[in-house]
Structure 1
Amino acid sequence: MKTALLLSAALLASGGGVLTAAETKEPPSCVIGDRALAQGQPQLALEEYEKCLPEAPPTFKTLSNLGMAYAGLSQFDQAIRFYGQALALDPGNPPVRLNLGLAYMKTNRPEQAAKEFARSLMGDPGNMRALELLAVCHFQLKDFELAAYEAEQVLKAEPKESSAAFLLGSSLLRLGIYKPAIPLIYSSIEKSNTPEAHQVLGQAFLGVKVYRQALKEFQQAERLAPDRAEIHSQLGTAHAGLGETDKAIAEFEKELEKDPNNFDANYYLGRLNRLSNNMDAARKYLAKADGLRPGDPSVAYEYAVLAMGDHDYAQAESLLLKIIQELPDYLDAHVLLAEVYFHLHRTTDGRREKALVEAMKSAEQVRLEAEGKAVEEAYQNRTKPNSSPHPGSP
Structure 2
Amino acid sequence: MSSPVQNPAYSRDQQPVALSQKVTLRKEEQAWQLLEQGRFHEAAPLYQRILHTRKRDAAGWNNLGYCLLKMGEAKEALACYQEALKLAPRDAGILINTGLCYQRLGQWQEACRCFQRASQYGARDADLLNNIGVCLAQLNRIEEAIKFYHQALALAPRQGEIIANLAAALVQGRRWLEAIECLEMALRLLPADVSVLNNAATCLEALGKYYLAAPLYARALALQPGDLQVRLNYAACLMKLSRLEEAREVLEELLRLDPRHGDGWQLLGALYDAMGEPETAACCYNRAWGLTPTREEGRKG
Give the superposition deviation at 1:109.
2.7
Greater Cα radius of gyration, structure 1 or 2: 1
- Cα offset, 1:179, TM superposition: 0.8
Instruction: State the secondary structure of the residue aligned to 1:243.
Output: coil
Deviation at 1:132, TM superposition (A): 0.8
| Unpaired stretches in structure 2, ≥5 consecutive residues | 291-301
Q: Which of 164, 181, 184 is the equivalent residue of 1:183? A: 181
| One of 78, 81, 96 as aligned partner of 1:80 | 78
- Determine if the alignment matches structure 1 residue 132 to structure 2 residue 136: no
CA contact (8 A) 1:21 1:34 kept: no
| Superposed displacement of residue 216, structure 1 | 0.7
Structure 1 residues 97-106 or 261-270, which shifts more?
Answer: 261-270
Q: Which amino acid in the other structure matches residue 66 of structure 1?
A: L
1:283, distance to aligned residue in structure 2 (A): 5.5
Partners in 2 of 1:184 and 1:287 — Cα distance?
A: 41
Deviation of the 1:208 alpha carbon = 1.1
1:282 positional shift: 4.9
Which segment is superposed worse, 164-173 or 64-73? 64-73
Higher relative contact order (CA 8 A, sep 6+): 2
Deviation at 1:181? 0.8
Q: 1:145 aligns with which of 138, 143, 146?
A: 143
Q: Which of the pair is proportionally richer in helix? A: 1
Deviation per CA, 1:228-251: give whole Å up to 9, x if none: 223332222221121223333333
Say if 1:250 and 1:71 are closer, same or farther in 2 by CA, change over 3 A: closer
Cα distance in 1 for partners of 2:42, 2:289 equals 54
Within a 5 Å distance, the mapping from 1:227-266 to structure 2 comes to 227-262=226-261, 264-266=263-265
Residue 51 of structure 1: how far off its partner (Å): 3.0
Contact 1:28 1:52 in 2 (8 A): no
For residues 101 and 137 of structure 1, the distance between their equivalents in structure 2, rounded to whole angstroms, comes to 10
Contact 1:189-1:198 at 8 Å conserved across structures: yes
TM alignment of 1:295-310, pairs within 5 A: none
Q: Give the match for residue 195 of structure 1.
A: 194
| Alpha-carbon separation, structure 1, partners of 2:36 and 2:246 | 55
Residue of structure 1 equivalent to 2:99:
101
- Give identity over the alignment, percent: 19
Give 1:162's aligned amino acid. G
Distance 1:264 1:57, change over 3 A: closer
TM-score (norm. length: structure 1): 0.64
- Letter aligned with residue 65 of structure 1: N
Question: Which one of the candidate residues 6, 10, 13 is aligned to 1:6?
Answer: 10
| 1:267-294 deviations in Å (ceiling 9; x for gaps) | 4334444445555555665576678xxx
Q: Which amino acid aligns with 1:35?
A: Q
TM-score by length of 2: 0.82
Following TM superposition, by how much is the alpha carbon of 1:260 offset from its aligned partner in structure 2, in angstroms?
4.1
Does structure 2 retain, via aligned residues, the 8 Å contact 1:111–1:141?
Answer: yes
Shift of 1:168: 0.8
27 and 179 in structure 1: CA distance in 2 versus 1, 3 angstrom threshold: same
